[in-house]
Structure 1
């Protein structure tokens, strides 16, 4: 891509009120049958248009066809019983009722490939598509079959690789794996989590990314952040190993977070998606605030490897707020582009 500091989102955008309840994560669909299929496609078109109007360079589907960033993928797989539920601790942060792995996990057919091909037909812009990462998938399930987090992660990595290869063939330019669990289970990340992620990208020629954030702006996450102290150094535990990995891009949270920006130095040489938009606040950043965050990041990442982005997904936000934040991201990136050109 030729654009300097190309902008993108981490993933989700708010859904229209006719598709799902606004400002609520993982809200049930309001439509059914063919109406739901058509409604999801219409919402995808709207999300694309919102990004285009805001000047976003690398577009996505805004996760409009997904109810949940992890379980929507899992519910298309064999070996997982959604009726048999257990309560587990998600990322050591909150309890949730989750489906159970009851047998070998299998992918009988593509999950997102048709949606990706549909989006590809709507635009010539670069497209980034998000998939759940293996470690975050196992952290969102109760495993009654493999009884080994590592073994289940490797099974999911193989399945994700199948999906990723077909997404690339459908015209996707960047495949991003969402791994918020990487900010929690540091020993496992270094022991086998990054290796499992490398299995998921095997054989791909498109760009690959891993998105590691501190979560949506929901109470469970904001409460957890209050316990992290004055500096959030979690990235420090895994960045050295990630720098050595085959993952091309790393997406991290910077705006209004307590992440010391110099931690980016630990992944020098990688492309870095710098989160310059806070998704835990409805206050719309000014372009100057975005530009300040990007300038700060440029001390530790070369300009040709910096990708301005959002901290996380914006699904829980009001649509007008998300729209304003996208516009601020674009305007802030443009300020820094002009400075670099001068």
Structure 2
């Protein structure tokens, strides 16, 4: 399909499931934050399943072509996977600076990183069982997890990142085997820590993707941070052309809130671009006309056959009715563009 429409990953969780007021007042947690859940532990899994079904149906009703589980079972995009690994002391967290420069509790690495068991496969299987459309699931990337941890074992961030890459590789392999069409690595810290990313970011991502060619489609999400938390946007990405050397097939970037100069997309020839066309800092629901113009800016540099339409970032922090309205407008824009482009 030309110009398929998709989430980046997350969809807003219902207020009856998670304390959205407490969620909004903090950076995404790096360690477990069970106090965010409103449902008693013995009913939490059932409630998360019900809320995931709502997220799947909302995406379908909004007209999306690629469906995620909405990351409904997660307190943040990264902590559920990062705290499920061997080598991490989750009872005695460490400290690391977040992308705004403030200290945050983070996983403390005390031994070799090992994946004990599949972490997200059951989430993927649930998603696959409840939609007939193309499905995508997200996994935190190894570079980002290495920046969100206190290393008391490896002695270097690079060695730690390669430890995470091994675990991520095993997880992606199992996700494809369980029926994932697309697996996306979330790597926001490639932008936040671009100097360090320039040294080994591509190498560690390629290790995470090693041997996966032909199993399914791989994607990578790069961003400036959640709009609800990081309000200021730079003029452009500090780490983007480097990803031309990355083995990933799709690259997700934001252009709506930042008004990004789309000429930079020319440096990613051969990659499919997941184009952020929904501004998550704007509480108003965009019209399809606005979204069409955002896509046209990119079409000057990328053929329509290499574009996927999406929000700038995850929608976790915005109201559910706003999220649905924005997705429906994006789907309407996609239908209009397909008609204009003759497909």
Q: What range is the shorter-chain TM-score in?
A: over 0.9
CA distance in structure 2 between the partners assigned to 1:14 and 1:295 by the alignment: 28
Gaps of 5+ in 1: none
Matched, 1:222 2:226: no
Gaps of 5+ in 2: 29-34
2:269 match: 268
- 1:175-214 equivalences under 5 Å are 175-204=183-212, 205=214, 206-214=216-224
In structure 2, the CA distance between the partners of 1:94 and 1:283, relative to structure 1 (3 Å rule), is farther
Q: Check conservation: 1:268, 1:300, Cα contact below 8 A.
A: no
- 1:151-190 equivalences under 5 Å are 151-190=159-198
Q: Check conservation: 2:187, 2:220, Cα contact below 8 A.
A: yes
Deviation of 1:78 (Å):
1.4
- 1:93-172 equivalences under 5 Å are 93-172=101-180
1:87 aligns with one of 90, 95, 114: 95
CA distance in structure 2 between the partners assigned to 1:109 and 1:37 by the alignment: 18
Q: Check conservation: 2:279, 2:311, Cα contact below 8 A.
A: yes
Q: Check conservation: 1:22, 1:318, Cα contact below 8 A.
A: no
Q: Check conservation: 2:82, 2:107, Cα contact below 8 A.
A: no
Q: Check conservation: 2:257, 2:281, Cα contact below 8 A.
A: no
Deviation of 1:175 (Å):
0.6
Deviation of 1:85 (Å):
2.5
Superposed CA RMSD in Å reads 1.6
1:287 match: 288
2:20 match: 22
Deviation of 1:92 (Å):
5.1
Tell me the secondary structure at the aligned position of residue 122 of structure 2.
helix
CA distance in structure 2 between the partners assigned to 1:13 and 1:94 by the alignment: 26
1:238 match: 240
1:10 match: 8
Deviation of 1:200 (Å):
1.1
In structure 2, the CA distance between the partners of 1:166 and 1:135, relative to structure 1 (3 Å rule), is same
CA distance in structure 1 between the partners assigned to 2:261 and 2:102 by the alignment: 26
CA distance in structure 2 between the partners assigned to 1:87 and 1:233 by the alignment: 27
Instruction: Encode CA deviations 1:134-177: one digit per residue, 9 max, x unaligned.
Output: 11101111111112100010010010000000000110001100
CA distance in structure 1 between the partners assigned to 2:307 and 2:228 by the alignment: 28
Q: How many residues align?
A: 331
Tell me the secondary structure at the aligned position of residue 252 of structure 1.
strand
CA distance in structure 2 between the partners assigned to 1:321 and 1:95 by the alignment: 32
TM-score with structure 2 setting the length: 0.92
Q: Check conservation: 2:94, 2:108, Cα contact below 8 A.
A: yes
Q: Check conservation: 2:192, 2:224, Cα contact below 8 A.
A: no
Q: Check conservation: 1:70, 1:137, Cα contact below 8 A.
A: yes
Deviation of 1:199 (Å):
1.2
Q: Check conservation: 1:255, 1:278, Cα contact below 8 A.
A: yes
CA distance in structure 1 between the partners assigned to 2:175 and 2:228 by the alignment: 30
TM-score with structure 1 setting the length: 0.93
Tell me the secondary structure at the aligned position of residue 220 of structure 2.
strand
